[in-house]
Amino acid sequence: MRKIILLLTLVLTNNVLSAQNQEWLTYNLDSIISIEMPNEVFELDTIAQGMRMYQIYSYTENSTFIAQKSLFEKESQNEDLSRLPYNLKSLIEQYNGTIDGIASSIPYELESRELIEKEGYKGYRLKFKDSLNNPTYQVELYLLNKHLYSFYYIGLENFDNNEKELFFNSIKINPNQEISQYLGKAQSYRIGYLFGKYFFYILIFGVIIYFIVRKKKK
C-alpha cells in the first residue's frame, strides 16, 4: 500500500514539475489584460460581422490555451443608446446570453456555469464534459468596458488540471486602467432618450412649418 501511495505521489509530482518547467511567458491582450502561456504563442487578429476579435493561443502535448478579446459593442455606438449592462442583473443577463451562444457552438455538454470574481470584477466559469463525464473544456469570461475577454483551456484526451490552473491563475487585470462593467443604459432610459430626441426634432419642425404658413398668409 505504501509503495502504491509513493508511486502516485511521484507521478503527481512529476506532472506538476513538468508543467512548471515549461517556459511560461506573460503576454498582453491589451492594456487591461495579461496572461501567461507556454511554449510558442500564435496570434489571430480579424473582423467578424463588423466586430474586431483578437486572439492568442498556444498548446502543449496535452492542452490547448486560448485567450480572446472581442468587441461586445461597436466603439461608435452612442453611449445614451448603449445596450451594455447597467447593473448586476443586466450584467448576468448579458453573460447568460453569451454562455448559451458558446454552449451551442462547443460539441460537449455544459456541466456547470459559476459566477466568479477576479480583482473585484464579475465573470463566469464554464465547465464542459464528454458523454463519459470526462472534463474537456473550461472557460472563463469577463466583460470589461466594451470588450468580452474569454479564456479557454481545452484538454480532450488528457485534461491536465495542473496546466489548467497555471493558465487561469495567471490572468491579471490591470488596476491602473479605468474599467467598468456598467457602461450601458436601462431600456426605459433608452426609450426616454429617443422620445426626447425625436420630440425635439418634431417640435422644431412644427415651429418652422408654423412660421412658413404664417409668412405665406401675410
Q: What is the pTM of this model?
A: 0.77
Phi, psi of 30 (to 5 degrees): -165, -160
Instruction: List pLDDT tens digits, range 183-215.
Output: 888 753 443 343 344 333 344 444 444 344 445
Task: Give the pairing of strands 64-71 and 33-38.
Answer: unpaired
Mean pLDDT computed over 159-170: 96
- Domain borders along the chain are 2-185, 189-218
The pLDDT score that the predictor gives to residue 25 is: 95
Q: Which residue has the higher pLDDT, 133 or 72?
A: 133
The pLDDT score that the predictor gives to residue 81 is: 57
Task: Name which of 29-33, 174-178, 181-185 the model is least confident about.
Answer: 181-185
Task: Name which of 8-22, 46-60, 84-98, 149-163 the model is least confident about.
Answer: 8-22
Phi, psi of 49 (to 5 degrees): 55, 40
Task: Name which of 6-20, 50-64, 176-190 the model is least confident about.
Answer: 6-20
What's the CATH code, domain 2-185? Answer: 3.40.1000
The pLDDT score that the predictor gives to residue 79 is: 64
Task: Name which of 28-32, 130-134, 202-206 the model is least confident about.
Answer: 202-206
